Structure 1
Amino acid sequence: MTDLLAARHPVVMGVLNVTPDSFSDGGRYADLDAAVAHAAQMVADGADLVDVGGESTRPGSGRVPTEVELSRVLPVIRELATAGVPMSIDTTRAAVAAAAIGVGVGIVNDVSGGLADPDMGRVVADAGCPWILMHWRGHSRRMGELAVYHDVVKEVCAELSERADAAVAAGVARERLILDPGLGFAKTAEHNWQLSAHLDAIMSLGLPVLFGSSRKSYLGRLLADSDGAPRPAVERDVATAATSLLAVAAGAWGVRVHDVRGTVDAIRVWQALEAHR
C-alpha cells in the first residue's frame, strides 16, 4: 500500500458499502457474493483499491454495534484478500481496523480522523499502514449542528493539521498520513464548494489529499429539477466525475467514488490532454 502513497497517477478508491442503509446504495452489496462481484468489477474498471465499510455515516444515521460491523466487513475482506484485491477499511473503530488489517486490509480510512476512538492511533502505528484522516466534528446525528465556521477553509486546515500532529504523536509516521477535507461531514453545500475551490490550502499542509464528493447531497441540490427536487443519488455520477476530475487537476492524490468507470474515463481524458501540452 505504500506504493499507492507514492503513486504519480491519481489513485481511484472504489466505494464498497456492505450495509443495508448507506445513502446511495444501501443494501445492494450486503450479500457476500454481490459485494465480492462488485469489488471485482470496480477493479476491472480501474479502481486502485476498494474501500470496504460496514457502518453507514450518512447524515442522521445511528451507530451499529462493533460485532455487527465486524460481521459485515470481515467475510468480504477475506474473500477479496484471497483474490488479491487492494483494500482500505472505512471505520472509526480501532477494533474493526485491527481485525481488518489482520485479514488483509492495507489502509485505514477513518472518517473521524482518529477522534472517535483513542486507540486507533496505536492500532495504525503498530500495523505501520497508511491512515486517511478525514475532517470530522462529531457523529452523524450531530452533523448539522456542527456545521458552523467563520472561515471553513482555514478552520478545516487547522483541524486537519491538529489531527496529523496527534497521529504522529501516537507513533504513526507522517509520511503514511493522507488528509481528507470531509465534504458533507458537518459541512453545508457552500462549505463543500469553498473547500473544493481551495484544495490548494489543504495540500499546503504537505500531505496527500483524498477527495470524496461521490453522489453527495450538495451535488443533488446543484442538479435539482425545475420543481426543486434534488437529483437522486444514483444519478449524480457525472457530477461526481466532474468534481473528482477538478480535484485531480488541482493536485489531489486520490478520489473516492462509487462509479469507478466513469471517473477513470474522465481522468484518462485529462491525462491524454495533459500529455500533449
Structure 2
Amino acid sequence: LDAWDTLREKGPRRVLPMTVPMLMPNGPAAAVSLDLGARAGAHTPVSACASGTEALHQGLELIRSGKADVVVCGGAEAAIHPMPIAAFASMHALSRRNDEPELASRPYDTNRDGFVMGEGAGALVIEAEEHALARGARIYAELGGTSVTADAYHITAPDPEGLGATRALKAALFDARAQAEDVVHVNAHATSTPVGDKPEYTALKAALGSHVDQVAVSATKSQTGHLLGASGAVEAVMTVLAIHERKAPVTINLDDQDPEIPLDVVTTARDLPSGDIVALSNSFGFGGHNAVIVLRSV
C-alpha cells in the first residue's frame, strides 16, 4: 500500500522491486514451500475470512486422494493499515467503541456493534495417520471431516436464514461420519457484528437440533479480534488445543447475551467432558464463503 504513495511522490523508479511479491496472495504459501522444500504444490485458497479453514479442507482432500502424505495448512493476515481500516469502517463493519477498545469485541452481546480487526497467523501439520505413526509424531487431534459451501446471497452480508452455513455444518458432520449428538464443543465464527452472529446461531440450531443447547460454544474473536484470512487457521489451532487439553476457550465481554442467540457460551473456565470429543470450528467470509471442520480427540 505504501508503494502507491512512493509512486505518486517519487516516481516509478523508486517503487521497490519486492512490491509485486509482497502483493501476491500466494506469497505466504510460496514462502512456506521455499522454506520447507515442499514440491507437491503450494495452494492458496482465497475465500476471505474462510480462507484458513478452506486451506484445511483442501489439505485433507490432498491426503485422502493420496496426492500427499503431509500438508502444512494455515492462514496469515496483516491488514492493520489505515486503508483497510478506513474501508471496513466505511462499510460500518467495525466497532465504534474506540474509548474502550478492550471491550469492543463482544460476540453475542446485545450491545455488539462490529468487529475489531486483528492480525496474525496460524498453521497446522496434517498427515495420513499411518505416516504420522511411522515417524512417531505427537498427534493432538484427528481432522475428521470438512465442508465448504457458498451462500450465493450477497457480497458482504450473510444469508439471514443461515442456509449455506447449515449446509456446511451438516456436510462436515456427514464427511466425518459424526452425528449432531456427538458434538460437545464449537469454536464459532462469531465476529461481534449485529448482522453476523444471529445467522450462525440459526445454522447451528438447524444442524444440531435441540442438542445445540448442550454444546459448549467459544467465541474466541472476543479475545483475538478478527484475523480475517488467518482466523480459521488460528481458531482451528485453538480447537485442537481445546480437545487436547479438554478445556474450552473463554469468551470475554459477554455482559448481556442477546436473547435471540440462546447458546451455551463459555464465559468462565470450563472443562470439556471425559470420553470422546467431537468439536466444530466455523468460518464464514465475505462473498458468501462457508467452511466448517470437524475435529476429534485421539
- TM-score normalised over the length of structure 2: 0.28
Higher relative CO (Cα under 8 Å, sequence separation at least 6) belongs to 2
User: TM-score with structure 1 length normalisation?
Assistant: 0.30
More strand per residue? 2
Q: Identify the structure with the greater helix proportion.
A: 1
